[in-house]
Amino acid sequence: MVVAARQDTVERKTSTEERGARLPLELILDVMCCLLPEKPRTRMAPSHDTAKTLVSFTRVCRGTNQIASRYLREHCCAHIRSANRLSDIVCSLQALNPWPAGGPATLETLTTLYLAPFKTSITEQGVAEQSTAWWISELFGYVRRTLRRLVIDMPLRADYDNVEERETLRKGFMGLTRLEEFVSVRDELFLSGGEDVDRDLVQDPVWALWPELRRLALYNPDADPEFWRQIAAMSKLESVVLTRPDGIRDSDWCIKTEFFSAAEPDRTIKVVLANAHELESFPPTGAWSAADPQDKMKIVVHDVPWDGHEDIIELCQEHVKTAALEGTIWEWDGHFPSLDG
C-alpha cells in the first residue's frame, strides 16, 4: 500500500514536470510570426514550406489555430491550375452545403486565389469546354463574400466566337464585388458579348463594376479615352498596371485630359505602363502638364527585361504572373515617359 502511494506520487510529479516543460503559447506565437515573409504582400503557394508549417500549427491548439489561420489568409494564395482540380473543389463544397436549400456557402479562409484552369496553350478548339466556365462561375459563388485578391491566367480571347461561355464567366466575375486587387495575365478580362450583341447595349468591363477595387493589372487592353474615363469613375482605385496596352500612342487625345474629365479634382492615382521595348515615347504627352499641373496622376514606364530573342508576348505575361504571385507587381516603378509634342 505504501509502495502504491509512492508510485502515485511519482506519477503525479512526473506529470507536473511534463506540463511544466511545455513551451509558453507566447513563445510559439513568436516563432510563427518569424516564419512570415518579410514583404507583407508576398503570397505563398500552398506547397511553400512556410504555408505547410502554418497549416500544422492550425492543428496544435485553439490559440495557434486562430493565429495560423489568420496568417494563412493574409499570406497564402490558393492555386487552381487545372479544370479537374477546379471541379473537385466545387463538388466538395456542394457536398458540404448543397444548393439551393441554404444558399451558397462561403470559404471564410479564402481571400487570395490564383486561377488557371484552362490549358496554357491556345488551340484551334478554343480555351475549354463550356463546363469549365460553369465550374468557375460556381466557385465564385462560394468565394464572392471573402475573396479580396484574384490573379487569373486564362486565355479568354482564344475562343472569340464562344459567346455563351463568356456570358457564363461574366456572370460569375460580376459577383466578385468585394475584390480589392485583380490581375489578368493574358488579356484585359475579355468577356465581351461579341459582334451579335445589340450595339445600343454597351457592356462595361466587368472590372469597372467592382466598387472596392484598389489595384488593377491588365494585359494588352485597349486604353482608349473611354477606358480612362472608366478608370476615373472607380473612386477607390489607387494603382493601375497595363502591360503592352494598345492606343496610348494615339496623338488625337491625352490620357490625363480624359482621366480628369471624369475624375474628382483631388483624385490621385499611379499608372504603370509595362513593356519590353516599345514604349519609348508618347506623342500626346506634351499636354500632360496642362491637364495635370500637380502631377496627381503619376505615369511611369516599367521596362520588362528582354534579351532581344525571347517572344515578347510570353516574356511579358510570365513577368506579370511571377510578380503578381509574389505580390511585388504593385511595387513596380520606372522612368517617366519622354514628353514629345
User: What is the pTM assigned to this prediction?
Assistant: 0.82
- Please check whether residue 107 is in contact with residue 146, taking contact to mean a CB–CB distance below 8 angstroms: yes
Q: How many CA atoms lie within 13 A of 96 on its CB side?
A: 11
Task: Report the chain's mean pLDDT, rounded to a whole number.
Answer: 82
Mean pLDDT of 99-123: 67
Over residues 303-319, the pLDDT tens digits come to 999 888 889 999 999 99
Q: Per residue in 30-66, pLDDT tens?
A: 888 888 877 766 677 777 888 888 888 888 888 888 8
Q: 147 and 113 in contact (C-beta within 8 Å)?
A: yes
Quote the CA–CA distance of 293 and 290 in Å, as a whole number. Answer: 6
Q: Which three cell numbers stand for residue 188?
A: 484585359
